[in-house]
Structure 1
Amino acid sequence: MEITCKKCNTRLTISNASSLIVKCGNCGYPNPVVLNGNEQEKAAKAPQPIITPPPRPNNPTPAPNPRPVVNPGMQSSRTSGTDQDNAKSTSGKTDVGWLVVHDENAPLQTYPLKIGRQIIGRHNSATPCDIMIITQDVFMSRNHCILEVKPVRSGGYDYLVSDRKMSNGVPQNMSTNGTFVNAFEKGLQPNDVVYLNDSDTIQLGQTKMVIKTIRTVANSDDATRLVKDSEYSPTVIIKH
C-alpha cells in the first residue's frame, strides 16, 4: 500500500497498514492511513506459499562486527518487561531488534539493530558498512540500503527501510539491483520509505532477511530460533 505525505509529498510504502497514523520518515508529519474495501480484500487473499528449506551448512563462516549469531543453540531466555527493559543485551548495549538472514543460499546469521541509521550491505573489508552480510550474492551491493530505528513518544520504536542516496542533490537508489519488502515485485524507489512490522522480510539483491523486534522477542537467540523455524519468503526474481 502506498500513500503520499500530505506535508512534503514523499511517497510512503506501507507493507501492513495496521496503524491509523503513519509518520513520514522524511519530515515527521503524521499521515492518516485508510484501507478501502478493495485493499482489505486483496490483503486477505494474498497467497502464502510454503517452501521446504534445504539442509543448512554445519559450519558457516563467522562474520565480522557487528558479530552475528550463526546457527545458535535452541535454548530460549525470554523475559518479561517493557520494550526498553527487553532491549538490554548481555554486553550492556541496547539492542532494539535483530535482522536474521533467512535465505536458501546463505548461512543463518543474526545481527543486532540499534537506534539510528544502519547501512546494510555485502561484506567487504575495503568498503565496510554497519551491517555486513556474509553471502556470495553478487547482486547485493556493498552499501545496499538503510534501516533506521526511531523511538516514538508513545513508547517503542519505528523501523524504517529505504534505498536512497543523494548524488549532486538528486535522490538515487543506493543499491544497484534493488531492495524488496515482503516479496513485492516492485523494488523501493529513491523517495520510498517503508515502515516495517515484526517478521517482515527484506530482500537485498537475491538474499532475504527477516526483522524481529523487541515487541515479540527478548534476545538474539529467540529471534534466530523463531526465524529459523519459519517458512522461507518467496524470492523476487531480479529483472535486467
Structure 2
Amino acid sequence: MTRTWLLHRWGPWCGAVALLLPLACMAAPAAPALVLLVDTSAQMPQARVEDDRVIEGLHLDLGRALARRLGREIIARPVPRKRLAEALQRGEGDLLCDYQSAWVPGSFAWSRPFIPDQALLVSAATAPAPAGLGALAGLPVGTVRGYVYPEMSEALREGFRRDDAPDATTNLQKLQLGRISHALTGRRALEYQQRIGALRLALHPPLVVSEVLAQCALSPTAAIGINALNSAIQGLVADGELNRLLARYR
C-alpha cells in the first residue's frame, strides 16, 4: 500500500479532522461570575469599601470561598444599605451574605444559617454593671441607625432609648469617648476593634443579648440555585474553612 494511495484514501477525512480539532480543543464558555452585594457603610471586619470598591473583609472572603466552590468568579458590588433589598430584588446582584431573613425584606431564597455571631450589650467599667436588660430602661444605649434590636425593644418597650450611630465602629467610638455608657454591638465587631487597638476602654463582662446565625440571600434572578449554594456552604463548614475565615478577624 503506497503512501500516495493512503493520502488519496484518507486525505479528505484527515482534512475534516484538522478543521474540527481546534473547535474540540476550545474551552467551554466560562460560567458567569456571581455578583456579591456589600453595604457601602459596612465597617471592618465585615468589609472595607473605598472608592466604590470592596477592598477586604469577611463578606468578601465568604463570597470568594463560596464562588470558588461553585466554580464561579466573584464580583463584589458596593450598594448603600437602604438599597440592598431593592438591588437584590432587581437582580443587580446575585448574593447577599451575613444577614438574616428578618433583616432584609423581599422574595429571596435564604440559605441555611451558618455564620455565627453574638449580639452583646457592652458597658463601660466607669458605669454600674447592669444586672440585665431591664436595668437600662430610660438610659441611652448606643445603637446603629437602621438596625433593629428586638430583644431590647421587647425587654424595655418605651424605655428603650436609642442613641444611633451611622455604623458599628462609630458606635463603639462613642462608648470610648464617654458619650454613652452602654452600647449594643456584635462580638465579632467588638473583638476586632479590641484586637487592632481601636478600643482600649475597660468594660464590664458583656451581656449576651442573643445568639446569631446569619445566612446568605439569593436574588430571584441569581445564576445559581439554593441547593447549590447550601451544598457549597456545607463544604465550607465541614472542612473548617469557615472557622479559618472567621479567625482572621478575632
Q: TM-score, normalised by structure 2?
A: 0.25
Q: Which structure shows the bigger proportion of residues in helix conformation?
A: 2
More contact order relative to length (CA 8 Å, sep ≥ 6): 2
Q: TM-score, normalised by structure 1?
A: 0.25
- Larger Rg computed on CA atoms: 2
